[in-house]
Amino acid sequence: EMAAPILLLRLLALLPASLCFQLAPQQRSLGPAWAPRAGAALAQAEADPGGGDDDGLSLGDELASQLRQALGSMEKEELRASDERVLDSMVDERKQAFNAVQGDLADAASKLQDELESRLEAELTSVKAEAMAKIDAAVDKLRASAAAAEPAAA
């Protein structure tokens, strides 16, 4: 229920400062002091997601209404810049998530490669030992047959 106000407050942080004052005309008299109040409202909403007062419009409803009004009066360039910031933020988040997954996959691939190389080395050593044993046996057999053939020839 309180996720919408938190999302709206986060969205406000992405908007140009000139638009933030359009969003809250009743806070204009506060001047720059309004921004800390918005930050405090965000912190309170995140800390107490079930809290809030139920006297008609909630903070989220009020902010959503003001946001719609302000977005309707924004110039195309400001809207484009705001969209770019939102998209850049989304791309950065996805890049970070991708980089984390890519790092995990690279680690897993490296471990797998090491394990495969170790298995191949062990198998190669086994094949070498088996081949050397066969060669040694064949050499011994040839020597024995050569030794048996020498006395018969003499």
Alpha-carbon distance of 24 to 152, in angstroms, equals 117
Give the three-class secondary structure for 52: coil
Q: With a cut of 50, which residues of the chain have pLDDT below it?
A: 1-2, 24-36, 54
Q: Which pLDDT belongs to residue 75? A: 80
Q: Which pLDDT belongs to residue 49? A: 53
Predicted model pTM: 0.38
The secondary element (H helix, E strand) that includes residue 4 is helix 3-14
59: number of Cβ within 10 Å: 19
Q: Which pLDDT belongs to residue 148? A: 86
Q: Is the dihedral of CA 97, 101, 102, 104 positive or negative?
A: positive
- Looking only at Cα atoms, what is the longest distance across the chain? 126
Q: Which pLDDT belongs to residue 154? A: 59
Q: Which amino acid is at 78?
A: E
Q: Which pLDDT belongs to residue 149? A: 83
Task: Return all residues near 88 (Cβ < 8 A) that are at least 6 apart.
Answer: none
Question: CA 115 → CA 99, 104, 105, 126, distances in Å?
Answer: 24, 17, 15, 17
